[in-house]
Amino acid sequence: MPLTPLDIVNKEFKHGFRGYSEDEVNEFLDEIVRDFEALIRENDELKENTSGMTERLEQYRKLESTLQSTLVVAQQTAEEVKVAARKEAELIVREAESKAQQIILQAEDKMKATLQEFERIRRDSDQFKARVRSLLESQLAMLSEGPGGRGITE
């Protein structure tokens, strides 16, 4: 069991022949008691501070754990957002490529239709020219024959 200031104060020494001066011994013991009491107070304060520090340390450890968990969740969320954004970007690109392909096909279809229309108009024009030519030739032939079938003479 540890020594207390009261133990030091109550300690009695036997008086011996030609022993130490009782006043000096008592004075020294009083000084020891004061120093010992100061050490005990300081020790109690340090224990109290240590207890407070231990509580704060535990709070900081909990805070650190919470922050680490939050960081892990934030990293996972960021990765999920990146993956989702990548997928969305790929989807947008695929949709754009599909629309572009549709536009190209529509343009090709329109071009084919326009070429067909052009060919039809060209054929119709050729037929019209041929009819006009035929009509003109027949008119020239009639003019060449003249009235009564004789031709024009001059």
Q: Which of 21-30, 47-56, 63-72, 111-120 has the lowest mean pLDDT?
A: 21-30
pLDDT at 147: 66
Q: Yes or no: say if 37 and 9 are a contact pair by the CB < 8 Å rule.
A: no
Instruction: Give CA–CA dist 115/128, Å, rounded.
Output: 19
Q: What is the dihedral of CA 135, 138, 142, 145, to 10 degrees?
A: 160
Answer whether 0.75 is exceeded by the pTM. no
What band does 37 get if pLDDT is binned at 50, 70 and 90? confident
Instruction: Give CA–CA dist 97/120, Å, rounded.
Output: 34
- CA separation (Å) from 80 to 24, 70, 75, 93, 118? 81, 15, 9, 20, 56
3-state secondary structure of 151: coil
Within a 10 A sphere around the Cβ of 4, how many other Cβ atoms? 13
Within a 10 A sphere around the Cβ of 2, how many other Cβ atoms? 5
Within a 10 A sphere around the Cβ of 86, how many other Cβ atoms? 10
One-letter amino acid at 102 equals Q
**If you search the block for the tokens 């109290």, which residue do you land on?**
48
Tokens of 41: 């107070």
Choose between 26 and 42: higher pLDDT. 42
The domains of the chain are located at 5-149
Within a 10 A sphere around the Cβ of 99, how many other Cβ atoms? 10
pLDDT at 134: 94
Q: What number of residues does the chain have?
A: 154
What band does 148 get if pLDDT is binned at 50, 70 and 90? low
